[in-house]
Amino acid sequence: MNLTKILTGVFFVLAVVVAYFLYDGINGTIEKGKEIERVENIVKARLELIRDVQIAYLSTYGDYADTWEKLISYADSGNIYVIERTEVIKMLDYGAEQSTFVYDTLEVVPVRDSLFSNGFDFKTLPELPHSKGKYFSLYAKDSIKSGVNVDFLEVADTYSFDRTRTDDNENEKRRPLRFGSRTDITTAGNW
């Protein structure tokens, strides 16, 4: 055997090993990205569910639930009222219109039947789906802004599955998943 054949064999084995490590590194990154996307979709679905319950709570009580206990109790035993609004317009003698609104409660639907699937455990509503024992942060406060009483709500993932999501990230979409704001009147999510 000459030196050329030995070096060719060694370089071939070395090339196969390097190719394996490159493939494994790239594939690992792709798989991790898929797992992050899967977990974040579950977190987004839970945040959307919490937002729906908070909006229903607001329509019933006039402000957001400021504790998880209030929200869980409402989700378990609260009701959503389906109301029909009818406008009656009456023409006045001098050509103006007078509007009268009539409100009629059509039905009362339990929150549990309207927003949740059968068998959902309401006690797990504030729990992060990817980290047992860790919970979403909840901030709900009413304040007076420009002489008007306004409600602020923010619910955020306190323990992001994707470690690149940080509170100090310049890109709002790369911060931990959340909806609402402590300073603006919104229930929009950052996803």
DSSP-assigned letters across all residues of 79-90: EEEEEEEEEEEE
Which domain covers residue 96, as residue numbers?
22-181
The pTM assigned to this predicted structure is 0.71
CA distance 97 to 134: 57
Q: Is 20 exposed, middle or buried (0-12, 13-18, 19+ CB in 10 A)?
A: exposed
Quote the mean pLDDT of the chain: 82
Q: What is the mean pLDDT of residues 162-187?
A: 76
Q: What is the mean pLDDT of residues 57-80?
A: 85
Residue 135 belongs to a domain: yes
Residue 99 belongs to a domain: yes
% of the chain exceeding 90 in pLDDT:
1
Residue 191 belongs to a domain: no
Residue 48 belongs to a domain: yes
* Max mean pLDDT range (18-22, 114-118, 150-154): 18-22
